[in-house]
Amino acid sequence: MKQARPYPRVVVTRKAARSLAGGHPWVFEGEVISADPAENGAIVDVFEENGTWQGAGLLSQESKIRVRVVSRNANDLFDEAFWARRVAWAWQHRRTAMAGRGLPGAEPDTTCCRVVFSEADGLPGLVADRYENVLVTQVGTVGMERLRPVVYRALVDTLAADGEKIDAIFERNDGASRAKEGLSQYKGWWDGLPAPETARLVVRENGLHFDLDLENSQKTGFFLDQKYNRRAVREIAAGRRVLDCFCHVGPFGLNAAAGGAAFVRCVDVSDTAIELARENARLNGLDDRMDFTCANVLDYLPELARDRARLREEGGPFDLIVLDPPAFTKSRGTVSHAARGYREINYQALRLLPRGGYLATCSCSHFMTRDLLAKAIAEAAHQANVQLKQVEERQQAPDHPILWGFPESHYLDFFVFQVV
């Protein structure tokens, strides 16, 4: 690069340069050969040791991910207009991928969706979920923490230009991972917009109403990545008795009931989640065909297999079981342990299903790859002495885009099988 640039230089190894050239945006601490003095969270230029410019990114001095590259275009200026373009491209992606896919008579699918998905949208460390007229955000990097006012305003302005009014932004910056960036934890309404009186709101997804607690629920309050997978369950639920495991606030179970299920049992270990699921069933007029159990699914499934009377008390036998567990692994080192967990819960579910029954099962961990999950499910089927006929294979919804060259952005795999 011949032109003078105003940004501090970070020189990285050849290995890091190859990774960046392949589209991966991260430079790790151990890949840095030298670095000019720079403010934490500032823009830096990344050079290979031979002098080749590899891009510009946000510096994180306390993180093992030392630089997150945001541009490989030497003409970019990292002003407010740059970040506004990133936000606009992210929203255009959701409009293109989802705006025309709403269910007949229901709200547009962009009414509740993820508007920004971190690195996959070129905004590393930022997640922004839309719940109608409220955004819920999570910031996980020091660079994005510094850019919050600029990016938040760009979000509000971009949606407003498309006729979508955002009244408030609730920040869920209370994740433990912020400590890796030297950031404090906090949550509350962003002071750049008026604060509503409550962080509880009722929103619509797939034509159903959900009572959400933005302040106290997991992550941003709801798991939007399963939007279309919930529809897949709805499409096969008619007339069936459904067991929804790890139900959270009930979206899979509610979609099954809305699809004509004869009965739905929702199970979760959280009392709070179960109460919200019960309220959501009432909100949608589906409580006459749904019931709820607070239990640890890992204990609950074997109990039903052992005790047929208990199975009948819970509304079984079931002929459609949904498994939507939390991530059993968040690191490469615990994958083998996680694989045993996925194998076990699928085995226990398959023990309960009759021939001709259906299993919807998934993993939401990047480290539990599609092939590792498929292997665990196949081993569970062998252990249960059944065969599986695949109905369909799915991934996360397109508002959680998979960025090629960045495998960490692909984290959700979802299968539907018939037991034969």
268 is a domain residue? yes
Based on the domain organization, do 227 and 354 belong to the same domain? yes
Q: Is residue 206 part of a domain?
A: no
pLDDT in tens, the chain (420 residues): 556 789 999 999 999 999 999 999 999 999 999 999 999 999 999 999 999 999 999 999 999 999 999 999 999 999 999 999 999 999 999 999 999 999 999 999 999 999 999 999 999 999 999 999 999 999 999 999 999 999 999 999 999 999 999 999 999 999 888 999 999 999 999 999 999 999 999 999 999 999 998 998 877 778 999 999 999 999 999 999 999 999 999 999 999 999 999 999 999 999 989 999 999 999 999 999 999 999 999 999 999 999 999 999 999 999 999 999 988 866 777 888 889 999 999 999 999 999 999 999 999 988 899 999 999 999 999 999 999 999 999 999 999 999 999 999 999 999 999 999
Same domain, 320 and 194: no
Which of 20, 46, 71 is where one domain is finished? 71
Residue 214 inside a domain? The answer is no
Sign of the four-CA dihedral 16, 21, 24, 27? positive
Handedness of CA 193, 203, 212, 112 (dihedral sign): negative
Last residue of a domain, one of 71, 91, 116: 71
Q: Give the CATH number for residue 22.
A: 2.30.130.10
* pLDDT at site 47: 97
Residue 358 structure tokens: 């259906």
Which CATH number belongs to the domain containing residue 193 in this structure? 3.30.750.80
Residues 328 and 180 in one domain: no
Peptide bond into 317 cis (omega under 30): yes
Same domain, 184 and 229: no
Q: Indicate if 275 and 412 belong to the same structural domain.
A: yes
Q: Which helix (H) or strand (E) holds 43?
A: strand 43-48
- Asked if residue 4 is part of any domain, the answer here is no
Residues 289 and 407 placed together within one structural domain of the fold: yes
Please tell me whether residues 278 and 369 are part of one structural domain: yes
Cβ–Cβ under 8 Å, residues 338 and 325: no
One domain, residues 186 and 291: no
Assigned domain for 248 exists: yes
Number of domains in the chain: 3
The answer to whether residues 294 and 356 belong to one domain is: yes
**Structure tokens of 157?**
């302005």
- Evaluate whether 129 touches 113 at the Cβ level (below 8 Å): yes
CA distances from 245 to 122, 274, 288, 313, 390 (A): 34, 11, 19, 16, 20
If asked whether residues 317 and 399 sit together in one domain, one would say yes
Last residue of a domain, one of 71, 100, 116: 71
The closest of 240, 239, 238, 264 to 252, measured between CA atoms, is 264
Whether residue 211 is contained in a domain is answered as no
CATH number at residue 331: 3.40.50.150
Per the structure, the complete domain to which residue 59 belongs is given by 9-71
How many other C-beta atoms lie within 10 A of the C-beta of residue 412?
22
Element of type H or E holding 254: helix 251-258
For residues 46 and 186, membership in a common domain is answered with no
The active-site residue, picked from 113, 266, 362, 364, is: 364
Q: Is residue 178 part of a domain?
A: yes
Residues 183 and 263 in one domain: no
Sequence-distant contacts of 190-194: CB under 8 A, at least 24 apart: 190/137, 190/148, 190/152, 192/149, 192/152, 192/153, 193/156, 193/166, 193/167, 193/168, 193/169, 194/167, 194/168
Is 266 among the residues known to form the active site? no
For residue 205, being part of any structural domain is answered with: no
